[in-house]
């Protein structure tokens, strides 16, 4: 699957931007992982300082999907580390977007996936298994639903109600 340039998608889909069927995430995410551009159907996850469900989801076949984790914007611990980055790559995930932190940046930088997160943090998360899968989430004012499409590149991150083409 060829990656779509987010700027070009915005230019050619102005009506979708106006209607809200195409949304732009706030430019607050740092880039990690080898893939500078990635896209795919979204799997949503809502957790807070607990990554048990993150591992559970990434252990399933990714099939080019993107895991979008609403970690509540916590800057107190990491939700994804090097082991989970490698797992995501091995299971065929296109990328992971974390509204929170990651760790093991050097390891994640070696993984053939796209990763976006707010920052890096050395502390690991809790392991209680609390959270929700496949639920609507709101990240920085942008509503994201399970099954929508995500497009990310160096210019930003887009969420679309349906798959797009140029």
Residue 82, marked binder: yes
18 domain-assigned: yes
Both tokens of residue 83? 């082991």
Give the dihedral of Cα atoms 61, 97, 42, 86; nearest 10 deg: -10
Domain-embedded: residue 37:
yes
For the entire predicted model, the pTM comes to 0.96
Whole-number average pLDDT of the chain: 96
Q: Which two tokens stand for residue 81?
A: 């580390």
On whether 145 is known to bind a ligand per the annotation, the reply is no
The answer to the question of residue 93 being in a domain is yes
Determine, yes or no, domain membership for 1: no
Q: Is 83 marked as a binding-site residue?
A: yes
Is residue 166 in a domain? no
∠ CA(36), CA(91), CA(34), 5° rounding? 20
What CA–CA distance (Å, rounded) separates 45 from 88? 15
We report the CATH number of the domain holding residue 107 as: 3.50.30.40
Per the structure, the count of domains in the chain is: 1
Query: Is residue 151 domain-resident?
Result: yes
* 13: CB partners within 8 A, 6+ apart: 22, 164
| pLDDT tens column, 70-108 | 999 999 999 999 999 999 999 999 999 999 999 999 999
Write out pLDDT tens, residues 22-65.
999 999 999 999 999 999 999 999 999 999 999 999 999 999 99
| Segment holding 96, helix H or strand E | strand 95-102
Average pLDDT over residues 151-160: 98
Question: Is 153 annotated as a binding-site member?
Answer: no
Domain membership of residue 79 (yes or no) is: yes
147 located within any domain: yes
Q: Which domain holds residue 126?
A: 6-160
């Amino acid at each position: 699957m060829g990656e779509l340039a987010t700027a070009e998608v915005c230019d050619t889909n102005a009506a979708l931007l106006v209607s809200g069927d195409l949304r732009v995430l706030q430019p607050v995410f740092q880039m990690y992982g080898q893939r500078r551009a990635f896209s795919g159907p979204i799997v949503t996850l809502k957790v807070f300082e607990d990554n048990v469900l993150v591992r559970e989801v990434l252990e399933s076949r990714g099939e080019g999907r993107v895991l979008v984790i609403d970690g509540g914007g916590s800057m107190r611990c990491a939700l994804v580390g090097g082991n989970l980055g490698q797992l995501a790559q091995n299971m065929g995930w296109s990328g992971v977007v974390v509204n929170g932190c990651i760790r093991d940046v050097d390891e994640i930088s070696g993984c053939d996936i796209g990763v976006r997160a707010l920052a890096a943090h050395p502390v690991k998360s809790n392991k209680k298994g609390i959270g929700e899968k496949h639920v609507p989430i709101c990240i920085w004012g942008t509503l994201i639903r399970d099954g929508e499409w995500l497009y990310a590149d160096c210019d930003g991150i887009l969420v679309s109600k349906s798959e797009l083409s140029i």
